[in-house]
Amino acid sequence: MTFYVVLILVVALERLAELVVSRRNLAWALGRGGREAGFGHYPFMVFLHTALLVACLVEATRRPFIPALGWSMLAVVVLAQGLRWWCITTLGPRWNTRIIVVPGLPLVDRGPYRWLPHPNYVAVVLEGIALPLVHTGWITAAAFTVLNAGLLRVRISAENVAMAQSVSEAPSPPAAMAQ
């Protein structure tokens, strides 16, 4: 159980590091005319992700550690963190925990975005299932997955609308000069 508590604390510290990066990137984006979209769901997202960590610890006190499940789910957690930070580094100062769009910037199509439009959410889904299951927290994994599915439906929709508006507001390339 001690190892699991340490794991949850490490994930919590990682979340705090994300918030530091996000705040720095928010200043960068706002300085370039960035606009926020879809803020209404953000407080629930913060609550849900915090509740995930707390629920993991609470449920772990009532569940056994099953090595085959625990170690395989730990590998998924580590892979999810790798994917999350690949997304963060690929987007650079454009990454944020909020939906901030800087008008005129093209959509990112490299790194994991070459294959998926929202790879960070793949990491979130994987982690939301795997982190509780490291210590057999199936109730937490199921509850988070259901609540997170609803949240992601709202969030991805808001992101898609914001990105589409940003692309439509991008300046047109100059017309070709007549020869």
Mean pLDDT of 142-168: 91
Specify the number of domains making up the chain: 1
Q: Which residues are CB-contacts of 3 (< 8 A; sequence separation ≥ 6)?
A: none
* pTM, entire model: 0.87
Strand pairing partners for 136? none
Is there a domain that residue 9 lies in? yes
Distance CA 58, CA 65 (A): 14
Is there a domain that residue 179 lies in? no
Q: Which residues are CB-contacts of 158 (< 8 A; sequence separation ≥ 6)?
A: 37, 38, 41, 99
Is there a domain that residue 178 lies in? no
Is there a domain that residue 138 lies in? yes
104: domain range? 2-168
| pLDDT bucket at 168, cuts 50 / 70 / 90 | low
Is there a domain that residue 97 lies in? yes
Per-residue pLDDT tens digits for 112-145 = 999 998 999 999 999 999 999 999 999 999 999 9
Distance CA 166, CA 160 (A): 10
Per-residue pLDDT tens digits for 26-81 = 999 999 999 999 899 999 999 999 999 999 999 999 999 999 999 999 999 999 99
Domain harbouring 128, CATH code: 1.20.120.1630
Per-residue pLDDT tens digits for 94-105 = 999 999 999 888
The radius of gyration of the chain's CA atoms, rounded to the nearest angstrom, is: 19
| pLDDT bucket at 164, cuts 50 / 70 / 90 | confident
Is there a domain that residue 130 lies in? yes
Is there a domain that residue 173 lies in? no
Is there a domain that residue 73 lies in? yes
